Amino acid sequence: MYVKSVSVINNNLERLILNIIFLSFGILALLYVLFLGNMVRNIVERRSLEANMHTLSREVRDLELTYLSMSNNVDLALSYSMGFKETRPTFATRKAFGYSVKITQNDL
C-alpha cells in the first residue's frame, strides 16, 4: 500500500520563534556596537580633555609664579608713585534709641 497523501506539519510557530531569536540577536549585536563605539569615543574625548587640563594647569602655574613675583615688588613707595594714597578710617556711630537704663543696687 502506498500513501496517497502526506500530511504536512505546519511549523509556523517554530519559524516565528526562530525569527524572533534571530531578530533579538541582531538588535543585541547592534546595541553592543553602539555602546562600544560610545565608550571608545568617551575614552578618546577624556584623553583629549586630560591633555587640555595639563596645558591649562601649566598656564595657571606660570600665572601664579608671575603673580607672586609681582606681589613681592609691591610696597608703599610703588603705590604712592601710582597715585594711591593712604586713607584715614571713619566710623559711623549712632546714639541709642529710647531711655537709658540705670541699674541701681538693692538695699536689702
Is the pTM higher than 0.85? The answer reads: no
What is the rounded average pLDDT of the residues 69-81? 88
**How high is the mean pLDDT of the chain?**
86
What is the rounded average pLDDT of the residues 31-59? 97
- pLDDT of residue 1 exceeding 70, the answer is no
Per-residue burial over 47-75, b = 16 or more CB atoms within 10 Å of its CB, e = otherwise: eeeeeeeeeeeeeeeeeeeeeeeeeeeee
Q: With respect to residue 88, please indicate whether it lies within any of the assigned structural domains.
A: no
Alpha helices (H) in the chain, listed in sequence order: 12-71, 76-81
What pLDDT shows up at residue 87? 85
Total domain count, the chain = 1
Q: Print the domain residue range for 57.
A: 12-67
What pLDDT shows up at residue 27? 98
- pLDDT of residue 8 exceeding 60, the answer is no
